[in-house]
């Protein structure tokens, strides 16, 4: 299996991981059933017995092999990020980054570097719901010609803790409580809030996790961040600090908590399915790769420490330069072999990229291989097909469980003369990795730099940068999460800490919890201090921020100019105006959206003109929460039938409540009129000028041409949500 040349695409001069995997793919079409030894099996229905009604025989090697393999099918799930979904794709840089980094995959815009990307939730087990309120992992493995580079990031740009030694405590606190293993995949319980209420450094990340960022509409519509500050190193050995970003081409969009909970019931694989389906449909997910670069001389130019993973560099201070594009275009062939067995590691780097001394990053550099040794069962997991680099691999590492490489020759040490000195070290100009010669000068101490002590200023910056609806959702999230906390003292302490972030936020949360904001806490703010420390000295120290507001932090300012890949439900029954359905479908498809017919039952409908309309979902198999928008076409009979369905009313109520675009034409308007919406909104036109828009995002087409309605509907869907409607919270759904 030793491979001496890079796997290259046959048509392009590009590395090709998909072809590299080909030698491991198995396809049983037209083949006979065999044992693992290749012996053809004649009877896979019965064990070998002493007589048809007699005892099974130990001799039955086929039964024993089959059952033994089955008994060993499970491996430990990841200690964190257990639930995930992944896809193959490629990365292309827009222009050479040679002035900043010598990393080969960032030099030539013509080169497509293969990638495998795994998205995940952090807390839940493998079978947990996709829609938990949680951070999402965004791990990218670049199979570069210089070896694998892993950018193991999250969809939130900061982290809960500053030092890796606190990671096991954090994860123990947020995982299900150990005495009864509840709740699954949720932070809304005592131990999590107990821990963070004593560790104010977590407050910035807590603000992000309580925001809608923790409830992505899809993996394809979330940002990714490398979180830590890394280094770029150019061919001259010059370094720049760098923060990595992934910007989704479709914009950053989220669902509401009420929706998330309902989606978890209706389709707990919602994100996984969405990613899979988008790729199957040819709607390849795309992100632009962005970097914020800071010169070495400016290391201390900020009001926070670049080494502190609880801080961002606001984009208004250092703009994100978009340097390339990631495209995912192929689903894995086998979930276990690829998505489950892939092993990412922040320590997998290539020349041109290097670490900083961020104490969280430094700890991560130990943890990943350590955990993969047990998760994947030994030291040879780099030989699993999905983990193998496309770059050649030669060294003196030998043996161990499941070794697959057949190393030839007498020599497994260095230096050697018997093997001609091979494999040999590479000079830096030959691609040999050299660490950046950072000057390190200090005492051996267990300590936290005082430059890490400002825990609230960026939490406040995040809060102040949110739109009003986003702030409302955060208040509701805190009320939900702390409302699930059983020990009142933990709630009190948390609300007291929130007052250090923002007084109004604390007031609003306190009100929701039926309490007042405490003026004094029972303990110092920061309890994460060493036993012999001067506790007072270790308390949070606010630092004046250069900006009070960062538009880049609000999803209100994201891309809202298209409806590509949006899912639109068309509510219909027999007698539906099929001409309207097909006009609307065509208009939506032309804009890149996917329309699905939802009807009282499955099968097909007879349209008003007698045409057959295929039904995609019944009202039983899909609720409005699985869609981005709803259209109710005309056809009197269809609308009468829908009026007899409680679920049809619920569908539009819920879509309204979740602020989604709704359109109706012809008799379809009657369904809305007969619903709670008719009484509450349509009957009280408040729109003013445009008769097509009686309420934000609701398009009452009436007798208008379906084409015209579609044009308005498309504009409304592109807005993602119409938050002004949230105030009308009286809609029952
Ligand atoms: C000291 C802090 C941290 C430690 C010790 C740690 C440790 C781990 C461990 C043990 C795993 C499971 C790996 C496996 O079984 O293959 C993991 C997965 C992961 N971690 Fe961390 N982590 C830390 C912080 C972070 C941070 C700050 C980020 C984001 C920048 C992050 C992103 C991820 C991702 C995305 C995965 C899932 C990778 C996959 O899809 O397989 N972790 N982490």
How does pLDDT run across 348-397, given as a tens digit for each residue? 999 999 999 999 999 999 999 999 999 999 999 999 999 999 999 999 99
Question: How high is the pLDDT of residue 732?
Answer: 79
Question: How high is the pLDDT of residue 145?
Answer: 97
Write the CB contacts of 422 (distance below 8 Å, at least 6 apart in sequence).
394, 411, 416
Question: How high is the pLDDT of residue 681?
Answer: 53
Quick check: 493 pLDDT over 60? Answer: yes
Residue 729 pLDDT class (50, 70, 90 cuts): low
User: Are 412 and 394 contacting, i.e. CB atoms less than 8 angstroms apart?
Assistant: no
Q: Please provide the average confidence, as pLDDT, over all residues in the chain.
A: 95
User: Are 675 and 649 contacting, i.e. CB atoms less than 8 angstroms apart?
Assistant: yes
Write the CB contacts of 376 (distance below 8 Å, at least 6 apart in sequence).
75, 341, 343, 384
Residue 463 phi, psi (nearest 5):
-60, -45
> Which of 76, 78, 155 maximizes ligand 1 atoms within 8 Å of its Cβ, making it the mutation to test the pocket?
78
Question: How high is the pLDDT of residue 692?
Answer: 44
> Which of 76, 81, 83, 244 maximizes ligand 1 atoms within 8 Å of its Cβ, making it the mutation to test the pocket?
81
326 forms beta bridges with: 91, 287
Residue 404 pLDDT class (50, 70, 90 cuts): very high
Question: How high is the pLDDT of residue 9?
Answer: 61
User: Are 49 and 55 contacting, i.e. CB atoms less than 8 angstroms apart?
Assistant: yes
149 forms beta bridges with: 142
Question: How high is the pLDDT of residue 498?
Answer: 98
Question: How high is the pLDDT of residue 8?
Answer: 67
Q: Which tens digits make up the pLDDT trace of 217-262?
A: 999 999 999 999 999 999 999 999 999 999 999 999 999 999 999 9
Residue 113 pLDDT class (50, 70, 90 cuts): very high
Output the six-digit token pair for 682: 């349509």
Alpha helix segments (H runs only) across 281-402: 359-375
User: Are 90 and 19 contacting, i.e. CB atoms less than 8 angstroms apart?
Assistant: no
Question: How high is the pLDDT of residue 6?
Answer: 59
Write the CB contacts of 236 (distance below 8 Å, at least 6 apart in sequence).
none
Question: How high is the pLDDT of residue 691?
Answer: 46
CA of 168 to the centre of ligand 1 (A): 12
Instruction: Give the residue from 677, 666, 689, 686 showing the smallest Cα distance to 733.
Output: 677
**What average pLDDT does this structure show over 315-344?**
98
Question: How high is the pLDDT of residue 689?
Answer: 43
CA of 31 to the centre of ligand 1 (A): 41
Taking the CB of residue 513, how many other CB atoms lie within 10 A of it? 18
Distances (CA, A) of 627 to 85, 302, 600, 708: 21, 43, 17, 22
The CA distance from 631 to 651, in Å, is: 11
Alpha helix segments (H runs only) across 329-442: 359-375
For the stretch 401-407, contacts whose Cβ atoms lie closer than 8 Å and that sit 24 or more positions apart, written own/partner, are 401/377, 402/377, 402/378, 404/1, 404/380, 405/1, 405/2, 406/1, 406/2, 407/2
The CA distance from 468 to 721, in Å, is: 14
Output the six-digit token pair for 376: 């994947």
Write the CB contacts of 511 (distance below 8 Å, at least 6 apart in sequence).
none
The radius of gyration of the chain from alpha carbons, rounded to an integer in Å, stands at 29
| 6 is an active site residue | no
| 228 is an active site residue | no
Question: How high is the pLDDT of residue 727?
Answer: 73
Quick check: 693 pLDDT over 90? Answer: no
Please give all residues whose beta carbon lies within 6 A of any atom in ligand 1, as ranges.
78-81, 84, 118, 120, 137, 139, 152-154, 159, 164, 167, 227, 309, 342-344, 360, 363-364, 367-368, 371-372, 375
CA of 80 to the centre of ligand 1 (A): 7
4-18, 25-39, 100-114, 189-203: segment of lowest average pLDDT = 4-18
**What average pLDDT does this structure show over 398-421?**
97
Quick check: 430 pLDDT over 90? Answer: yes
**What average pLDDT does this structure show over 151-165?**
98
Q: Which residue's alpha carbon is nearest to atom 3 within ligand 1?
A: 364
User: Are 615 and 602 contacting, i.e. CB atoms less than 8 angstroms apart?
Assistant: yes
Q: Which tens digits make up the pLDDT trace of 599-655?
A: 999 999 999 999 999 999 999 999 999 999 999 999 999 999 999 999 999 999 999
Q: Which residue's alpha carbon is nearest to atom 13 within ligand 1?
A: 368
Q: Which tens digits make up the pLDDT trace of 665-682?
A: 999 999 998 998 876 555
The strand order across the sheet containing 698-702 reads: 617-618, 594-599, 567-571, 629-632, 661-665, 698-702
Q: Give pTM, 2 decimals.
A: 0.96
121-135, 247-261, 464-478, 693-707: segment of lowest average pLDDT = 693-707
């Amino acid at each position: 299996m030793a491979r001496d040349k890079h796997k290259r695409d046959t048509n392009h001069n590009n590395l090709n991981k998909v072809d590299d995997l080909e030698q491991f793919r198995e396809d049983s079409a037209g083949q006979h059933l065999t044992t693992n030894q290749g012996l053809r099996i004649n009877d896979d229905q019965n064990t070998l017995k002493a007589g048809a009604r007699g005892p099974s025989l130990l001799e039955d090697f086929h039964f024993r092999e089959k059952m033994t393999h089955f008994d060993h099918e499970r491996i430990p799930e990841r200690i964190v990020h257990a639930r995930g979904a992944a896809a193959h794709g490629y990365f292309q840089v827009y222009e050479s980054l040679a002035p900043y980094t010598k990393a080969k995959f960032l030099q030539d815009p013509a080169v497509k570097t293969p990638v495998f990307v795994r998205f995940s939730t952090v807390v839940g087990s493998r079978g947990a719901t996709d829609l938990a309120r949680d951070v999402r992992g965004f791990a990218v493995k670049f199979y570069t010609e210089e070896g694998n580079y892993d950018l193991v990031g999250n969809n939130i740009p900061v982290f809960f803790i500053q030092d890796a030694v606190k990671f096991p405590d954090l994860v123990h606190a947020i995982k299900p409580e150990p005495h009864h293993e509840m709740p699954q995949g949720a932070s809304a319980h005592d131990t999590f809030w107990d821990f963070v209420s004593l560790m104010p450094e977590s407050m910035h990340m807590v603000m992000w996790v309580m925001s809608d960022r923790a409830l992505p509409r899809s993996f394809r519509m979330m940002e990714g961040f490398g979180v830590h500050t890394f280094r770029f190193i150019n061919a001259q050995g010059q370094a720049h600090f760098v923060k990595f970003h992934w910007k989704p081409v479709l914009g950053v969009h989220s669902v509401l908590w009420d929706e998330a909970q309902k989606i978890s019931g209706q389709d707990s694989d919602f994100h996984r399915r969405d990613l899979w389906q988008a790729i199957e449909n040819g709607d390849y997910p795309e992100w632009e790769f962005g970097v914020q670069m800071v010169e070495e001389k400016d290391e201390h130019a900020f009001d926070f420490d670049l080494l502190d993973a609880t801080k961002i560099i606001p984009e208004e201070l250092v703009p994100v330069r978009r340097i390339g594009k990631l495209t995912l275009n192929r689903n894995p062939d086998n979930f276990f072999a690829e998505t489950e067995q892939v092993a990412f590691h922040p320590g997998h780097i290539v020349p041109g990229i290097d670490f900083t001394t961020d104490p969280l990053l430094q700890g991560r550099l130990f943890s990943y291989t350590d955990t993969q040794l047990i998760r994947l069962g030994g030291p040879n997991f780099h030989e699993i097909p999905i983990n193998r680099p496309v770059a050649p691999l030669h060294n003196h590492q030998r043996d161990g469980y499941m070794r697959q490489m057949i190393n030839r020759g007498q020599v497994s040490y260095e230096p050697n003369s018997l093997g001609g000195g091979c494999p040999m070290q590479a000079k830096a100009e030959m691609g040999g990795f050299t660490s950046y010669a950072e000057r390190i000068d200090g005492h051996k101490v267990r300590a936290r730099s005082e430059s890490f002590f400002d825990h609230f200023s960026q939490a406040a910056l995040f809060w102040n940068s949110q739109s009003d609806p986003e702030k409302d959702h955060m208040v509701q999230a805190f009320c939900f999460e702390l409302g699930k906390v059983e020990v009142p003292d933990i709630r009190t302490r948390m609300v007291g800490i929130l007052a250090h972030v923002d007084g109004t936020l604390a007031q609003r949360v306190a009100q929701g919890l039926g309490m007042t904001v405490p003026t004094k806490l029972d303990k110092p703010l920061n309890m994460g201090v060493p036993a012999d420390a001067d506790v007072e000295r270790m308390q949070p120290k606010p630092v004046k921020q250069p900006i009070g507001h960062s538009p880049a932090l609000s999803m209100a300012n994201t891309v809202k100019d298209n409806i590509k890949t949006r899912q639109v439900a068309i509510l219909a029954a027999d007698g539906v105006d099929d001409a309207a359905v097909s006009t609307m479908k065509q208009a939506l498809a032309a804009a890149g959206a996917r329309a699905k017919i939802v009807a009282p039952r499955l099968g097909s409908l007879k349209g008003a003109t007698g045409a057959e309309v295929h039904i995609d979902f019944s009202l039983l198999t899909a609720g409005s929460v699985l869609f981005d928008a709803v259209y109710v076409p005309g056809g009197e009979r269809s609308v009468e039938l829908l009026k007899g369905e409680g679920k049809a009313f619920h569908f539009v109520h819920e879509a309204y409540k979740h602020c989604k675009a709704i359109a109706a034409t012809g008799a379809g308007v009657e369904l809305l009129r007969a619903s709670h919406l008719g009484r509450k909104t349509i009957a009280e036109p408040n729109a003013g000028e445009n008769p097509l828009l009686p309420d934000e995002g609701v398009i009452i087409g009436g007798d208008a041409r379906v084409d015209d309605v579609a044009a308005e509907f498309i504009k409304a869907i592109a807005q993602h949500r119409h938050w002004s409607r949230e105030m009308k919270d009286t809609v029952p759904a």
